[in-house]
Amino acid sequence: MAKIRFMALEQLASRESSGAKSAKPSALFADDVFTMSKMRTYLSIEAYRKLEKAMAEGEPIDRSLADQVASAMKAWAMEKGVTHYTHWFAPLNGATAEKHDSFIDLLPDGTAIESFDGKLLIQQEPDASSFPNGGIRNTFEARGYTAWDPASPAFINNGTLCIPTVFVAYTGEALDFKTPMLKALAAIDKAATEICQYFDKDVKKVYATLGWEQEYFLVDEALYNARPDLKLCGRTLMGHQSAKDQQLEDHYFGSIPGRVTAFMEELEQECHKLGIPVKTRHNEVAPNQFECAPVFEEANLAVDHNQLLMSTIKKIARKHRFRALLHEKPYKGVNGSGKHNNWSLMTDTGVNLLSPGRNPKSNMQFLIFLVSTVKAVSEYADLFKACIVSLGNESRLGGDEAPPVVMSVFLGQYLSSVLDELEKKVTDRKMTPDEKTELKLNVGRIPEIMLDNTDRNRTSPFAFTGNRFEFRAVGSSANCGGPMIVLNTAVAKQLADFKNEVESLVENGVKRDEAIFQTLRQYIIDSKKIRFEGNGYSREWLKEAEARGLSTEQDCIPSLRAYISEKAKSLFVGMGIFSERELEARFEIKNEIYMKKLQIEARVMGDLALNHIIPIAIVYQNRLLENVRGLKEMFGDASFYAPQLENIRSVSSHINTISVLVDEMIEARKKANTIEDMVKRAEEYTEKVRPYLEKIRYEIDKLELMVDDEIWPLPKYRELLFSR
Ligand code: ADP
Ligand code: MG
């Protein structure tokens, strides 16, 4: 199974066999990864073959083989000066977790040795009681365990041997992203392979592929340190817009500033050593916003690599005296950061199933995968939305070039017309053979047309881009595992349904080609409501989307309910991805995380308002007062100090409003905190606490424009966005 997963790695790491280091980036590639080719060196031939076979067939690895792999890993790692190892996993707080253990062990005679065996490789029992568990694991029975995922290779990071693992409760429920994602990837493999078998008996396996595009901001370290909101919330809670930001569109693809280039070069080098095939780097639309993207990989590996990339970006940024902001909307009024998930399906024979073929047969296949994906988004639109919403993404979606919160699929003019035609052609009668050929030929023209079809709709949350779908609504700080679970499960379900429908038609005497056309047509009709080619920002779309029955809910908390809907339960439980309890736990965790982040923001806002902004505003107010007193003494005539008086009134009024609002916000928070039920508390926070953040900000941003720049306590947007 894992063979293809390693293919990209192996290809890019081919220099390994060539030995000597050169200056080429490929020379470093996967230097810190225990790749298959390294295993070949460190394992006996027999053990290597056994491992390869077990991985290819997805079978469990027995203890004696695990012992051999562990000892090979240890030998390799120790040669590189490594002394510690850790199981590396992705708990539901969205971060990655590791608990380091030393290789060191004591023999009965008191001498120390380095040891690492199969048992330690395969499984650990971290006392991980403080990871979010949504009620699955009480703290008094805090045992969870991590188990090796042989499909993702071990690597060395920060001098520690990291072993990618799943993380589950002692009772078996998943507490991470990887466990259900591996199940979803297995489900899509099965369903897609069965469809491929209609066309090519050689296809034995289908892999989901993922190429993420990671957007982020850099900010100078000193400025960052002077902004408690950036430090504690990852975003600015206040700050008046800079006179110039992105309106001239002069940052996008502009030349990359020297200090940033140095950072990027080191980041890329570090990524390459870790086997992350980053390839593209450029400036993004907002000032100080950047993007990096890799060559796509098998989805499980790509998800691990994105997690690793996020921590590496942060690490390298610090070395260059920057801080990296992965928050979806660090600055109001300029573009936020997303993480487009480019997704497709690839057979073990090397065919991209979402790439239009050059002959009628492969185009039939293409259409099945295309239409089933569209149908999956249509059927489970609410889940597609639920898996990407978060407190951070809430402020990104719907503005400044991010997609709106309404789910829709963009296919581009040409494919839309192909689907429309297919739908019409068979409305009330069977297609004639000529029509079928014509249709297949039309589809056959897609590749050429797609090539120069740069018809990109930036406002679409889910767009077809020639040979893949691009899920653009995903937030920049998210673990891609969340969307990958929903997308692969939903499409797997549609493909399985597709096959069942075709087969039942065939059983009733319909020819298979005809059965496929009929089912396609039905799917096209059923999923029409999700297709949208227009401007996702327009008011008309919001209205129309509502009329189409699509969710236009703007808020995160109500959108999360999709996780516990009957539809979600029947999908996930039916496909064997989540139990009901696991779904409920995930729902609760998402509510909890949202609520806690909002709580932190409200606290930081209160602190900044009371301890930073108001005192400075008072200092300024006193200066004005003194000034007025002096003017009055000297001139007596009110016309001499009228503008200052007006200023004093204004400053005072903002100060008063801020204090009242902060008091009210604190009260609202206290009240919300008494609510036991996590979901209700999150709702209360959304409704009663959240609005204060904007209201208080408004007043503070006005003050920022009045108070003497010299004493204003926080770095301003123009500094944060333009210093580098
Ligand atoms: P753009 O900004 O135009 O969308 P980028 O080059 O920044 O393009 O990103 C495109 C991403 O799509 C890359 O990560 C690339 O590897 C990925 N990609 C290309 N083909 C596929 C595919 N078949 N499956 C998954 N991802 C793909
Ligand atoms: Mg893209």
Interval 108-122: pLDDT, tens: 888 888 888 888 888
Instruction: Evaluate if residue 253 carries a pLDDT over 60.
Output: no
Per residue in 547-584, pLDDT (tens digit) is 999 999 999 999 999 999 999 999 999 999 999 999 99
Quote the pLDDT of residue 436. 63
Q: Taking Cα atoms as reference points, which of 37, 12, 274 lies closest to residue 160?
A: 274
> Mutation test of ligand 1: which of 468, 472, 484, 491 has the most ligand atoms closer than 8 Å to its C-beta?
468
Per-residue pLDDT band at 128 (split at 50, 70, 90): low
Distance (angstroms) between ligand 1 centre and the Cα of 297 equals 10
Quote the pLDDT of residue 458. 74
Q: Which residue has the higher pLDDT, 163 or 130?
A: 163
Per residue in 215-235, pLDDT (tens digit) is 999 999 999 999 999 999 999
**Which letter does DSSP use for residue 402 in this model?**
S
Per-residue pLDDT band at 249 (split at 50, 70, 90): low
> Mutation test of ligand 1: which of 340, 342, 373, 457 has the most ligand atoms closer than 8 Å to its C-beta?
342
Q: Distance (Å, rounded) from C-alpha 541 to C-alpha 708?
A: 44
Quote the pLDDT of residue 227. 97
Instruction: Evaluate if residue 724 carries a pLDDT over 80.
Output: no
Instruction: Evaluate if residue 442 carries a pLDDT over 60.
Output: no
Nearest CA to ligand 1 atom 13: 211
Per residue in 462-511, pLDDT (tens digit) is 999 889 999 999 999 999 999 999 999 999 999 999 999 999 999 999 98
Q: What is the mean pLDDT of the chain?
A: 88
Q: Give the whole-number percent of the chain exceeding pLDDT 90.
A: 67
Kindly state the average pLDDT of the residues 241-253. Answer: 69
Quote the pLDDT of residue 4. 37
Q: Which residue has the higher pLDDT, 683 or 280?
A: 683
Nearest CA to ligand 1 atom 22: 344
Instruction: Evaluate if residue 11 carries a pLDDT over 50.
Output: no
Quote the pLDDT of residue 221. 94
Per residue in 621-665, pLDDT (tens digit) is 999 999 999 999 998 888 888 989 999 999 999 999 999 999 999
Quote the pLDDT of residue 640. 85
Q: Taking Cα atoms as reference points, which of 342, 333, 230, 346 lies closest to residue 287?
A: 333
Q: Distance (Å, rounded) from C-alpha 698 to C-alpha 711?
A: 19
Q: Taking Cα atoms as reference points, which of 399, 372, 405 lies closest to residue 387?
A: 405
Quote the pLDDT of residue 129. 62
Whether the CB-CB separation of 362 and 427 falls below 8 Å is answered with no
On the 0-12 / 13-18 / 19+ scale of CB atoms within 10 A, 547 is exposed
Whether the CB-CB separation of 285 and 251 falls below 8 Å is answered with yes
The pTM of this model reads: 0.92
CA 463 to chain centroid, in Å, comes to 16
Quote the pLDDT of residue 402. 86
Per-residue pLDDT band at 254 (split at 50, 70, 90): low
Which ligand is closest to the CA of 302, given by its number? 1
Per residue in 315-348, pLDDT (tens digit) is 999 999 999 999 999 999 999 999 999 999 999 9
Per residue in 683-709, pLDDT (tens digit) is 999 999 999 999 999 999 999 999 999
Q: Distance (Å, rounded) from C-alpha 251 to C-alpha 283?
A: 6
Per residue in 132-156, pLDDT (tens digit) is 777 665 544 556 788 888 888 999 9
Instruction: Evaluate if residue 172 carries a pLDDT over 60.
Output: yes
Instruction: Evaluate if residue 14 carries a pLDDT over 50.
Output: no
Report every protein residue that has its C-beta within 5 angstroms of ion ligand 2.
340
Instruction: Evaluate if residue 445 carries a pLDDT over 70.
Output: no
Nearest CA to ligand 1 atom 23: 344
- Rounded to 5 degrees, φ, ψ at 164 are -60, 130
Report the Cα–Cα distance between both ends of the chain, in Å, rounded. Answer: 46
Distance (angstroms) between ligand 2 centre and the Cα of 482 equals 19
Nearest CA to ligand 1 atom 14: 211
On the 0-12 / 13-18 / 19+ scale of CB atoms within 10 A, 716 is middle
Q: Which residue has the higher pLDDT, 413 or 76?
A: 76
Amino acid at 581: R
Which ligand is closest to the CA of 343, given by its number? 1
HEC sequence for 567-618: HHHHHHHHCCCCCHHHHHHHHHHHHHHHHHHHHHHHHHHHHHHHHHHHHHHH
Per residue in 96-112, pLDDT (tens digit) is 888 888 898 888 888 88
- The count of other CB atoms within 10 Å of the CB of residue 172 is 11
Residue 352 alpha carbon, nearest atom of ligand 1: 23
Apex 218 CA angle, 215 and 219, nearest 5: 150
Instruction: Evaluate if residue 370 carries a pLDDT over 80.
Output: yes
Lining ligand 1 with CB less than 6 A are 209-211, 213, 280, 293-296, 342-344, 352, 467-468
Distance (angstroms) between ligand 2 centre and the Cα of 469 equals 9
Amino acid at 673: N
Residue 467 alpha carbon, nearest atom of ligand 1: 23
> Mutation test of ligand 1: which of 213, 276, 298, 474 has the most ligand atoms closer than 8 Å to its C-beta?
213
Quote the pLDDT of residue 205. 95
Whether the CB-CB separation of 325 and 194 falls below 8 Å is answered with no
Instruction: Evaluate if residue 719 carries a pLDDT over 90.
Output: yes
Instruction: Evaluate if residue 213 carries a pLDDT over 50.
Output: yes
Residue 282 alpha carbon, nearest atom of ligand 1: 7
Quote the pLDDT of residue 21. 39
Tokens (6 digits) for 480: 């891609």
Quote the pLDDT of residue 430. 61
Per-residue pLDDT band at 180 (split at 50, 70, 90): very high
